Amino acid sequence: MHGHTLTDFVTLGRSGLRVSPLCLGAMTFGTEWGIGVGPEESFGVLDAYLAAGGNFIDTANIYTKGHSEKILGDYFTKGAGKGKRHRAVIATKFMGNLWPNDPNGGGASRKAILHAVEDSLRRLQTDHIDLLWAHFWDRHTPVEEMMSATDFLVKQGKVRYLGLSDHPAWVVTKCQYTALMRGWEPLCALQIEYSLLQRTVESDLMTMARDLGLGVTPWSPLRGGVLSGKFDRNTPPPADGSTRVKKESNYLNERSYALIDLLREIAAAHGCTVAQVALRWLLDQQGVSSVIIGARHLNQLHDNLGCCAVKLTADDHRRLDEASKVERPFPWDFLDFVRSGIQNGATINGVKSDLWHLTPKSDAERF
């Protein structure tokens, strides 16, 4: 369970790297994608996040065509962050391709990774990356090649820690055991979409991360703004497309509206905002290390940071879990069904079970 301030630091997965429970996402640093803000406003957000005690910043080589990394580099070499680079944990990603029609411009080949990291170091204006993520799963490259290349970067001192973002659970497991069996640098973190409106990750990705010692850093914790509290069945997004949530969003449906109604009720009881309740629910999930918040403007940042101080009750969690419940893939429901066949009335590690209805009732019935 996380503490209740931004400076209640946590170690990231099975590593000694200390990070803030809220990570500042830098995807909106730069206006090149049409959703962000310029360098000056980005610097203001960085100032406020660091002044509040945060230390964890997440970007990627492809964000705003590389400008996001450049803004971070300028901030820590020329801006108010000058001299503070080593106090920050800067994470970036390789995989995305910035070179049209170049098959080696992106992906997880050794050639692509080494070039991408050199470009990221140049834009970030630093000699090392604290946490390097593989942004997506490259289905064309053997995981042995990717893990070997990232291990080489750690041994060179250009990268400190490794993580995977947006990979299937079986691929993450294969990568981790490939590294462990060969004496290469293992993964310490997993970045996935996770929120009250995206809970399908709980069945395999989250259970795997906890078992493998991977600290989870969820992205889109407010489902792109759907859970921000700005929208409900009576207040749809404007038709002019000026908000990130579009009027035709698949997530603006009756199920979401009922969840937003509940979030509003719980927020009112705690004297906080809808977004803060949604973020606190996520922070409280077992295995979550640091939630990635994206803030274009200072008011958004301060509102999001306020989630740390919120204390949800067990009943709040129960109601939110019920309202956002999703169908789990096989074999999860089946395993719950057969629990009595395994435990047969016994309580193990706090998990209770019923007597199995097909169990022998006496020695005479037992062969």
Phi and psi of 2, rounded to 5°? -75, 155
Alpha helices in 284-313 (DSSP H): 298-305
Kindly report the number of other CB atoms within 10 A of residue 101's CB atom: 6
- Cα separations (Å) of 366 from 276, 346, 354, 357? 56, 19, 19, 14
Residue 124 carries which DSSP code? H
C-alpha 131/C-alpha 161 separation (Å) is: 5
C-alpha 262/C-alpha 264 separation (Å) is: 5
49, 63, 161, 194: the active-site residue? 63
Give Cα 88 distance to the centre of its chain. Answer: 18
Please, how many CA atoms are within 13 Å of residue 102, restricted to the half-sphere of its CB? 14
C-alpha 190/C-alpha 287 separation (Å) is: 10
Confirm whether 75 is a catalytic residue. Answer: no
Q: What is the largest CA-CA distance in the chain?
A: 83
Tell me which residues are annotated as active site. Answer: 63
